Amino acid sequence: MNNITSLLARAFFMSTPLILGALGEVIAERTGMMVTAVEGIFLIGAWGGFIGAYISGNLYLGFLLAMVCGLMVALLYALTTVYMNQHQIVMGTAISILVTGFCTFFYRVIFGIQTTPLKVEVLSTIQIPILSQIPFVGKILFSQNIITYLAYLLIPIILFVMNHTALGLTLRSCGENPEAVDTAGIDILKIRFAAVAVAGCLGGIAGAYYSLCNVGMYTSEIISGRGWIAFGICFLGNWNPVGALIFGTVFGVSEAIGVYVKSLGMSTMPSELFSALPYVLVIVLTVCRKDLRAPNKLGQNYVKEN
Amino acid sequence: MGKNIIVELKHINKRFAKVLANDDVSMVIKEGEVVALLGENGAGKSTIMKILYGLYHATEGEIFINQKKVEIRSPKEAMACGIAMIQQHFSLVEAHTVTENIILGHCKGKIDFTEKEKEIQALADQYHFDVPAGELVKNLTVGAQQKVEILKALYLNAKIIIMDEPTAVLTPQEADVLMGFVRDYVAKGNSIVFITHKMKEVLEVSDRIIVLRNGKISGTIEEGEIRTVKESELVNLMIGHDLEIIKAPSMTGTDNRKNRLEVEHVSLRSKDNIPLLDNVSFSIKEGEILGFAGVSGNGQQELCEAIYGARKLHAGKVILDGEEISQLAVKERIEKGIGYLASDRYRYGMISGMTLSENILLKASYLKNWVKNGIIKWKELNNYTENIIQEYKVKAPDHEVVIGSLSGGNQQKVVVAREVDRGEKLIIFDQPTRGLDLGAINYVHKTIMREKSKGKSILLVSTELSEIFALSDRIAILYKGKIMGIFQNGELSTEQIGLLMAGYELKEA
């Protein structure tokens, strides 16, 4: 019982950055923009978050810097794709690779080569009064850190904006038929640009979650494909915040299982096999998922005639 | 005539890279009138209106609204001036509801959808539009989708509505309803600009006609002259010369010829099991043209592809000259002598970036004509292509130019030439004149009649009833993948065909 409680608590803990990243992706993709720079955004978030926190000694300043770093990468991506009409997949991949080099290089420039990795204290959990006392559930859901709570709070907010406001209607229309938005007199490019920027902020925070909540340090392998997993979750969740929550949790569980098996220290089975679980899961679930309804113009740039 | 001028365009020039799309165009739109903009494709009629609607920006020229000079930089500013435009290809979000589409961009903050839906429904009812405000646009018929576009304009209290080729996608009955709306709307003191290339509706509905040719105004028919103007005069203004008249086909002598193509109980389903063709049976004799009338999207393309072999039948048989070909691959059917001119030339008919010769070779690369031991016989192919250029009067310098650089009509001539050559027994023409100008249409029609006289069987699909009437021996009507009936040409009136196209049985009517 105790094991299961901690496993599930761990699952929600690990699902947070994936959900955050996927939510950003949902917002952008509903306007038609695939944020394929998401891996780079996660990585620079982890990097910026660590540097901010290490230098200032304040984790929240770390998250702030991570957000700014994520935003910067997203703006570069949005500028080249939305306004300069470059291919979304090519541009995003190129930017991600650039970010990898950038982070490794400047980490060494700032801190030199360390024999033992530099560390910061990880973000502490907040026990929610009363609720955290509920047996089983309290330990799983109400003993998490502030970022996790915020991620869950974001879901109903995004849902409401998407489905009940003029802004949401515009967002959704951009991904379905940009021309209709254009003829309605709305600056579609501005909307797409802003949506990618929001995805950048959320992705930056998600990246920092790994360095500041999970391990308390930065390595160049810290993200290792989790940006892409968030990208996949957006697809699997049918471009819906609730779907992002469901599949984000599924992947959180699979990550937690990997960590749990490792802690058992089994000699018969290599624990790396379980670490691979989320990646295998992406492929299996994507193949199995059938009734996907992608935004009609997803991944297609809009070029104004005049 | 006492009507106030609302909009005045003065000396508008519009240049796209090297092409001059509008050349010194000046015109006015008055209160309470229907102005028709008549012209061929590429005459610049849509361009001038897109400038007025702020989608394009004029290279030179001025726009006055109510005698005041204005700059219209975006559709938003046009709408603020009371101008709305309904594009030829609707700008609707198909996955959204009617209401969502109409309020897009014209609402703020939190939306009360039930309230808005009521408001939109009231507006629709006021104009007797049968449009459910809560329905998803993709579930509506094309005619209803057009009404949603009109409602968008009405919702904004537009005083001038520009309609770009509004009847192109409608059944004759739907077109009548639209004309009714046009009349009502201008009677209230509003104005409508009607962009079209169809002479008949121009004469029916407009108060004034402005004819454009090659980006310039080639003639204006004023209010007083409209009742006396002849169609031939309008044609002359549109294309600069007269048209040859195609003789209607003779209906005699086909009865004792043998059947060339027989289609028996053919059914076809989509991936999600929606029937696309439902128990379709018909036959075409040698030297006969069977015309398929119908609103596009009622199974015409699927039928052509089923006969050609691009789709697997769910049930039924296709028989050519007594031999079943239902199981044969496309390649084998081409070898049997079936030519297929697909409706979407750009997608299925040609490769824009390749030369004329290469496009001629396109569907015959595995036939012995042009290939020996896997090597293309360029010399013969190029000579052949040169012949086609001469014979079909293709406006192209030689066989080496890229087909994408030709005009639509000339591209079509090349593709038609290829298919006519492939189709020794049967040629399928799916909307052969869609988007072509009158001269090219005339040429394609002549080619079809010529091939018919050679004894080839022809399956003609068209959404233009006039084309069906002009060419076919017999007429079949497709509605939702079913044949509503097959009739001798001349047996039915336009109205009866219209009813069949809309899915009504004739007995009920």
* Mean pLDDT, residues B51-66: 92
Each residue's pLDDT tens digit, B109-143: 899 999 999 999 999 999 888 899 999 999 888 88
Nearest chain A alpha carbon to B85: A183
* Residue B171 included in any domain: yes
B215 and B268 fall within a common domain: no
Rounded CA separation A295/A58 (Å): 40
**Which contiguous run of DSSP H or E holds residue A94?**
helix A88-111
B41 and B114 fall within a common domain: yes
pLDDT at position A274 is: 79
pLDDT at position B247 is: 58
Count the residues in chain B. Answer: 509
Higher pLDDT, B249 or B357: B357
B90 and B216 fall within a common domain: yes
Q: Is A3 on the interface with B (CB under 8 A)?
A: no
* Mean pLDDT, residues A163-175: 95
Nearest chain A alpha carbon to B113: A164
* Residue B200 included in any domain: yes
> Which neighbouring-strand residues pair with B83?
B160
pLDDT at position A306 is: 61
B28 and B90 fall within a common domain: yes
CB contact under 8 A, A185 and B105: yes
Rounded CA separation A1/B450 (Å): 86
**Which contiguous run of DSSP H or E holds residue B15?**
strand B5-16
B277 and B222 fall within a common domain: no
Give chain B positions within 8 Å (CB) of A176. 93-96
CB contact under 8 A, B92 and A164: no
Q: Is A93 on the interface with B (CB under 8 A)?
A: no
* Mean pLDDT, residues B9-31: 88
The end-to-end CA distance of chain A, in Å, is 66
CB contact under 8 A, B95 and A176: yes
Give chain A positions within 8 Å (CB) of B49. none
Nearest residue, CB atoms, A177 vs list B85, B93, B105? B93
* Mean pLDDT, residues B283-309: 91
Q: Tokens standing for B300?
A: 């015409």
Rounded CA separation A291/A283 (Å): 16
Each residue's pLDDT tens digit, B69-117: 999 988 889 999 999 999 888 889 999 999 999 999 888 889 999 999 9
Topology adopted by domain A2-288: ABC transporter involved in vitamin B12 uptake, BtuC (1.10.3470)
**Which contiguous run of DSSP H or E holds residue B101?**
helix B98-103
Substitution target from B91, B108, B164 for chain A, most A beta carbons within 10 A: B91
Q: Which residue has the tokens 């999970």?
A: A214
Using pLDDT thresholds of 50, 70 and 90, give the confidence band for residue B254: low
Pairing between strand B275-285 and B208-213?
unpaired
Each residue's pLDDT tens digit, B10-19: 999 998 876 7
CB contact under 8 A, B94 and A181: no
* Residue B398 included in any domain: no
Contact B297, B328 (CB under 8 A): no
Q: How far is CA B152 from CA B124, B131, B132, B133, B502, in A?
A: 10, 12, 14, 12, 25
Contact A207, A43 (CB under 8 A): yes
pLDDT at position A45 is: 98
* Residue B364 included in any domain: no
Each residue's pLDDT tens digit, A68-89: 999 999 999 999 999 999 999 9
Q: In the predicted model, is pLDDT for residue B272 greater than 80?
A: no
pLDDT at position B317 is: 92
pLDDT at position B249 is: 55
> What phi and psi values does residue B458 have, to the nearest 5 degrees?
-130, 130
CB contact under 8 A, B107 and A166: yes
B218 and B183 fall within a common domain: yes
Each residue's pLDDT tens digit, A184-235: 889 999 999 999 999 999 999 999 999 999 999 999 999 999 999 999 999 9
How many domains in chain B?
A: 2
Q: Is A177 on the interface with B (CB under 8 A)?
A: yes
Q: Which residue has the tokens 């309904």?
A: B86
Tally the C-alpha atoms within 13 A of residue A162's C-alpha that lie toward its C-beta. 22
Tally the C-alpha atoms within 13 A of residue B119's C-alpha that lie toward its C-beta. 15
Q: In the predicted model, is pLDDT for residue A142 greater than 50?
A: yes
Q: Which domain holds residue B467?
A: 260-354+422-501
Q: What is the DSSP letter of B4?
A: P
CB contact under 8 A, B104 and A305: no
Nearest chain B alpha carbon to A297: B93
**A&B contacts, CB < 8 Å:** 72
pLDDT at position A29 is: 97
pLDDT at position A56 is: 95
B103 and B133 fall within a common domain: yes
The end-to-end CA distance of chain B, in Å, is 43
Contact B53, A185 (CB under 8 A): no
Rounded CA separation A94/A96 (Å): 5
Q: What is the CATH number of the domain that holds B337?
A: 3.40.50.300
Nearest residue, CB atoms, B92 vs list A170, A180, A182? A180
User: For chain B, what is the largest distance between any 2 Cα atoms, rounded to a whole number of angstroms?
Assistant: 77
* Residue B409 included in any domain: no
Q: Which residue has the tokens 């009936």?
A: B485
B320 and B453 fall within a common domain: yes
Nearest-5° angle of CA B436, CA B442, CA B448?
100
Q: In the predicted model, is pLDDT for residue B509 greater than 50?
A: no
Residues 6+ apart with CB under 8 A from B344: none
CB contact under 8 A, B103 and A177: no
Q: In the predicted model, is pLDDT for residue B369 greater than 90?
A: no
Question: Which residues of chain B have a Cβ shorter than 8 Å from any chain A Cβ?
Answer: 55-57, 74-77, 79, 85, 87, 91-96, 100-101, 103-111, 113
Higher pLDDT, B490 or A305: B490
CB contact under 8 A, B111 and A180: no
A128-157 b/e (C-beta count within 10 Å ≥ 16 → b): eeeebeeeeebbbbbbbbebbeebbebbee
* Mean pLDDT, residues B445-461: 93
Average pLDDT, chain A: 92
* Residue B443 included in any domain: yes
Q: Is A184 on the interface with B (CB under 8 A)?
A: yes
Q: How far is CA B51 from CA B23, B66, B150, B153, B313, in A?
A: 13, 17, 20, 17, 48
Nearest residue, CB atoms, A165 vs list B95, B101, B109? B109
* Mean pLDDT, residues A288-304: 88
pLDDT at position B232 is: 80
B312 and B189 fall within a common domain: no
B192 and B119 fall within a common domain: yes
As for the ipTM of the complex, it is 0.86
pLDDT at position B508 is: 47
Q: Which residue has the tokens 């040629």?
A: B427
* Residue B391 included in any domain: no
CB contact under 8 A, B85 and A183: yes
Average pLDDT, chain B: 88
B190 and B301 fall within a common domain: no
Q: Tokens standing for A227?
A: 């940006």
Nearest chain B alpha carbon to A167: B109
* Mean pLDDT, residues A255-267: 81
Q: Tokens standing for B66?
A: 């109510």
Q: pTM for the complete prediction?
A: 0.80
Q: How far is CA B168 from CA A103, A200, B175, B296, in A?
A: 57, 45, 9, 10
* Mean pLDDT, residues B219-224: 87
pLDDT at position B363 is: 81
> Which neighbouring-strand residues pair with B259?
B285
Nearest chain B alpha carbon to A296: B95
* Residue B11 included in any domain: yes
Q: Is A180 on the interface with B (CB under 8 A)?
A: yes
Q: Distance, in angstroms, between A171 CA and closest chain B CA?
A: 10
Rounded CA separation B376/B388 (Å): 18
What residues does each domain of chain A span? 2-288
Using pLDDT thresholds of 50, 70 and 90, give the confidence band for residue B244: low
Q: Is A173 on the interface with B (CB under 8 A)?
A: yes
* Mean pLDDT, residues B227-255: 71
B199 and B107 fall within a common domain: yes
